[in-house]
Every structure is written in C-alpha cells, then in structure tokens.
Amino acid sequence: MALIDGDDFLSGDIFSFQEANRIKNNFRGAAAPTGASEGMLFSDEGDDKLWHRVGISASWDEVLQETLSAGATPEFNNLILDVDPSDVSSPPTDAELEAIFPVHPNGFMGFVQDTTSGGSLWMVVYNSGWWYIEFALAV
C-alpha cells in the first residue's frame, strides 16, 4: 500500500514532493490559503463550506453540499432534479410537503409525483410558505 492510496504515515516514512502537495492541497483553516494552486481544496473552519481553486479564473468556487450550501444560488446547464413519489392530496397540504421535504430554506424547489390520487406531478417551492404548480401529462 502507499500514502497515495490513503494509508497512514508511519514513523520514518519518506514521501515525495507529489505526496506532500496532495497533503497541502487538502487544507482546513480560518481563511483561504494565499498561495493556492489550481485544483486545491479548502475547508473553511468558520462555516464548514468546502471550496475548490478554479484554474480558469484563479478564484475559489464553492463545492455544493447537501446541508451546508443553502446560501448558494448555482446555475447548471440541463439541471436534473429528482422526483419524490408520495401519496399526497390534490393539491398537497403544508403538512404533507413538510413530511416529504423536512429541510427547506426559502427558495427550495422540489418535485412530488402523487402515487394515488390521479398521479399528478407537482412542482413545489418554499418561500415563507409552500407554493405549487400542477403539471399535466402531454398527449
């Protein structure tokens, strides 16, 4: 085994500059490192957000995380979201949506496929309350 594969250091280990750079490139601290190179990762101690040094613009880009990226507003080409199947009313109630999506900051958007009452597909958005749109199947 080797350090490159994630093995622990042992007393007396000698490692290459490549391995030392791999260690350096996974940095945790209170502020982003000043001498960062492309591809470097930085874990912010203050908010536990993870950042990636982008070579194109020589800037830091947030790595999106399920629970810590609620403040991010990403844009993706051809964004694919999952659809949560559930037995919901027509339209879904606040309680039903709270049960399906227990974590929902303002701006949260999700899809619910009704499994019993006609099979409607609902797009739901949380913004100081639940908003919804019902979709109809194309024929």
Backbone torsion region of residue 105, taken as left when φ is above 0, otherwise alpha when ψ lies between -120 and 50, otherwise beta: beta
Q: What is the pLDDT of residues 73-118, one digit of tens each?
A: 777 777 767 789 999 999 999 999 999 999 888 888 999 999 986 6
Is residue 33 in a domain?
Answer: yes
Q: Are 63 and 87 contained in the same domain?
A: no
Within a domain: 74: no
pLDDT of residue 130: 97
Task: Specify whether 87 is located in the same domain as 131.
Answer: yes
**Which is more confident, 107 or 21?**
107
Residues 26 and 61 placed together within one structural domain of the fold: yes
Average pLDDT over residues 52-56: 85
Query: Does 10 map to a domain?
Result: no
Domain match, 55 and 91 both: no
Residues 59 and 103 in one domain: no
Q: Report helix, strand or coil for 86.
A: strand
Q: What are the backbone dihedrals phi and psi of residue 122, each rounded to the nearest 5 degrees, phi first?
A: -120, 130
Residue 111, domain extent: 83-135
Domain count, the chain: 2
On whether residue 119 sits in a domain, the answer given is yes
Reference 32, options 42, 22, 23; nearest CA is: 42
Averaged pLDDT for residues 122-132: 95
Question: What average pLDDT does this structure show over 23-42?
Answer: 81
Distances (CA, A) of 60 to 28, 66, 79, 85, 131: 14, 19, 22, 37, 34
High-pLDDT (> 70) share of the chain, %: 91
Residue 11 lies in a domain: no
Domain check: are 92 and 63 in the same one? no
Q: Is residue 3 part of a domain?
A: no
Are both 62 and 87 inside the same structural domain? no
In a domain, 126, yes or no: yes
Tell whether 96 and 56 lie within a shared domain. Answer: no
State the DSSP H helix or E strand holding residue 23, giving kind and residue range, or none if neither: helix 17-24
Residues 127 and 87 placed together within one structural domain of the fold: yes
Task: Kindly state the average pLDDT of the residues 131-138.
Answer: 91
> What's the whole-number mean pLDDT along residues 38-53?
88
Q: 127 and 89, same structural domain?
A: yes
Mean pLDDT of 6-27: 76
